[in-house]
């Protein structure tokens, strides 16, 4: 027998390649067999590897991208690769594969200011069309496109976002004012440019937009609540209330009111505060009267002077003028009426005092002319003496 023209004595055939086996027998018998010894491959054609790969193909000559390649050597260069497997008798096989970047960027992901791209074994990096140097921090808010270049015309693109480093939270409520701070972008508030680091104190609902690289826009909503002093929602007060509201439009019980003032009218009150973009908040409270000269269920003697200013008064359903004496003996109900349905009732009793009452009898003689002559009649008069 001969193998590829050389004597063959049943040796193990390991070399990859094309083979022709000729078997000779008696009487001029000849048989020819063609066969191949193929490589045992652990990769498929057009395979893609992340970061690195190692190819083990013994018993063949290997060339990677036209250069000699030693089986088992790690391949780390990013790019398109072409492996040639060369065997005996003109055998050749080609496998193409790709090494993609081992990188810390995820497509369409968002990162904070100061992000650093980490990738190795590349030819070049472009960030938004400019060369990116490894280890360089990306601070500016915006939309970014990173292109990684490798050998043999390889390139891969990643899109990602650097967020604005803003001190205002989406949905946040700030009392009085807020000072937007951002060092990696510009801002608009309700569509108008606002200088970073300056106070914003307009009461209402607002939209803040961060502007950055490559048409980057990020919008969040926040609220400036008013600074209100002197009055709280749901509270009761006595006599008067001194209120103050900053940087907003104020109504008291539905009517326009100054931003600060004194409320003295007894009753239920509502201060409504309005701001930009349909902002509205209401503070409801009650102003009770200062009552002097009268206590509920108390007993008084002879007469009573009631002093309850800034309200309407009635006793037993009849109007009572504040500060005037009241002398009707008996049990009574004073009703105090104020704003918006406010009403308070006080019951009291008015009695005569406990001084001793005596009767003084006065006898008066009145002359009466009678026919018989002049006659005197005695008349007894009684009067109460206290």
- Give 181-226 as a 3 state SS string: CCCCCEEEECCEEECCCCCECCCEEEEEEEECECCCEEEEEEEEEC
Mean pLDDT of the chain: 92
Terminal Cα-to-Cα distance of the chain (whole angstroms): 163
| CA atoms of 282 and 272, how far apart (whole Å) | 4
Assess whether pLDDT exceeds 90 at residue 351: yes
Residue 370 near residue 347 (C-beta atoms within 8 A):
no
Fold held by 228-288: Immunoglobulin-like (2.60.40)
The reply to whether the predicted model has a pTM over 0.75 is no
Q: Name the residue ranges covered by the structural domains of the chain.
A: 1-100, 109-162, 173-225, 228-288
Interval 237-255: pLDDT, tens: 999 999 999 999 999 999 9
- Is residue 362 a contact partner of residue 369, using CB atoms and an 8 Å limit? no
Rounded distance between C-alpha atoms, residue 274 and residue 257, angstroms:
12
Arithmetic mean of pLDDT, 27-45: 91
Coil, strand or helix: which one is 27? helix
- Residue written as tokens 């008067």? 240
pLDDT of residue 356: 42
List, for residues 185-201, the tens digit of each pLDDT value: 899 999 999 999 999 99
Give the integer Cα–Cα distance in Å for 192 and 174. Answer: 19
Helix (H, G, I), strand (E, B) or coil at 47: strand
Which letter does DSSP use for residue 289 in this model?
P
Tens of pLDDT, residues 129-150: 999 998 899 999 999 999 999 9
> Distance of CA 306 to CAs 239, 321, 323, Å?
15, 9, 5
How many CB atoms neighbour CB 318 within 10 A? 8
Give the ranges where the chain is alpha helix by DSSP (H).
none
């Amino acid at each position: 027998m001969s193998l590829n023209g050389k004597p063959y004595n049943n040796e193990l055939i390991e070399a990859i390649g094309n083979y022709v086996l000729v078997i000779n027998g008696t009487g001029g018998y000849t048989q020819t067999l063609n066969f191949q010894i193929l490589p045992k491959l652990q990769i498929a054609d057009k395979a893609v590897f992340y970061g690195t790969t190692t190819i083990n193909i013994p018993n063949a000559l290997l060339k990677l991208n036209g250069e000699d390649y030693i089986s088992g050597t790690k391949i780390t260069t990013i790019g398109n690769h072409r492996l040639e497997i060369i065997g005996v008798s003109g055998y050749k096989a080609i496998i193409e594969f790709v090494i993609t970047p081992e990188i810390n960027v995820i497509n369409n992901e968002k990162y904070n200011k100061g992000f650093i791209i980490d990738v190795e074994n590349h030819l070049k990096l472009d960030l938004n069309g400019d060369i990116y140097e490894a280890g360089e921090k990306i601070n500016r808010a915006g939309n970014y496109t990173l292109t990684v270049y490798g050998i043999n015309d390889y390139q891969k693109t990643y899109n990602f976002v650097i967020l604005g480093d803003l001190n205002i939270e989406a949905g946040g409520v700030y009392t009085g004012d807020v000072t937007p701070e951002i060092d990696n972008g510009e801002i608009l508030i309700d569509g108008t440019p606002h200088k970073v680091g300056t106070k914003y104190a307009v009461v209402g609902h607002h939209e803040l937009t961060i502007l950055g690289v490559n048409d980057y826009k990020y919008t969040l909503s926040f609220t400036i609540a008013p600074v209100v002093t002197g009055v709280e929602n749901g509270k009761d007060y006595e006599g008067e209330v001194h209120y103050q509201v900053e940087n907003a439009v104020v109504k008291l019980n539905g009517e326009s009111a100054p931003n600060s003032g004194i409320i003295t009218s007894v009753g239920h009150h509502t201060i409504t505060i309005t701001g930009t973009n349909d902002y509205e908040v209401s503070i409801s409270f009650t102003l009770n009267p200062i009552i002097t000269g009268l206590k509920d269920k108390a007993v008084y003697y002879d007469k009573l002077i009631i002093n309850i200013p800034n309200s309407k008064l009635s006793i037993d359903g009849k109007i009572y003028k504040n500060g005037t004496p009241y002398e009707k003996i008996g049990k009574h109900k004073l009703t105090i009426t104020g704003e918006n349905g406010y009403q308070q009732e006080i019951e009291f009793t008015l009695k005569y005092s406990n001084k001793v009452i005596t009767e003084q009898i006065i006898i008066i003689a009145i002359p009466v002319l009678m026919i018989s002559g002049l006659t005197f009649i005695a008349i007894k008069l009684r009067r109460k003496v206290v």
